Amino acid sequence: GENVEQHPSTLSVQEGDSAVIKCTYSDSASNYFPWYKQELGKGPQLIIDIRSNVGEKKDQRIAVTLNKTAKHFSLHITETQPEDSAVYFCAAVASGGGADGLTFGKGTHLIIQP
């Protein structure tokens, strides 16, 4: 089955700086890679996703890059703000056959220092 590794487990950055979180996956059939933000006591919320036919996607201060050859993808947050503090999860899934449950990484606790 799929295995997703995520680094770092904790990331502390100064407000206004950039943050980068990296993930690797094992199943070459995986073709959908979402990123979720989870705040304390809440369920995960999708912030951006990328499909295997695209190398990069951007939405305002958030961007995701995908390298299919190396099987890794990254989340980039620019101009970080206090409200960006949360736990971020990457995930991967191979679509087709009906079963598309996500395999998640272990999460990155992002801390924005004022």
Partner 1 sequence: EAGVAQSPRYKIIEKRQSVAFWCNPISGHATLYWYQQILGQGPKLLIQFQNNGVVDDSQLPKDRFSAERLKGVDSTLKIQPAKLEDSAVYLCASSPRTGTSDTQYFGPGTRLTVL
Tell me how far, at minimum, the Cβ of 85 lies from partner 1, in Å.
Answer: 17
Tell me how far, at minimum, the Cβ of 40 lies from partner 1, in Å.
Answer: 11
* Options 11-19, 57-65, 73-81, 99-107: segment touching partner 1 (CB under 8 A): 99-107
Contacts (CB under 8 A) with partner 1, residues 54-93: 89, 91, 93
Tokens 């390298």 map to which residue? 67
- Give the nearer residue to partner 1 in terms of CB position, either 35 or 84: 35
Q: Does position 5 bind partner 1 by CB under 8 A? A: no
- Give the nearer residue to partner 1 in terms of CB position, either 97 or 114: 97
Q: Are strands 108-113 and 86-92 parallel, antiparallel or unpaired?
A: antiparallel
Alpha-carbon gap, residue 71 to 67, rounded angstroms: 6
Question: Of the candidates 40, 60, 70, 98, which one interacts with partner 1 according to CB under 8 A?
Answer: 98
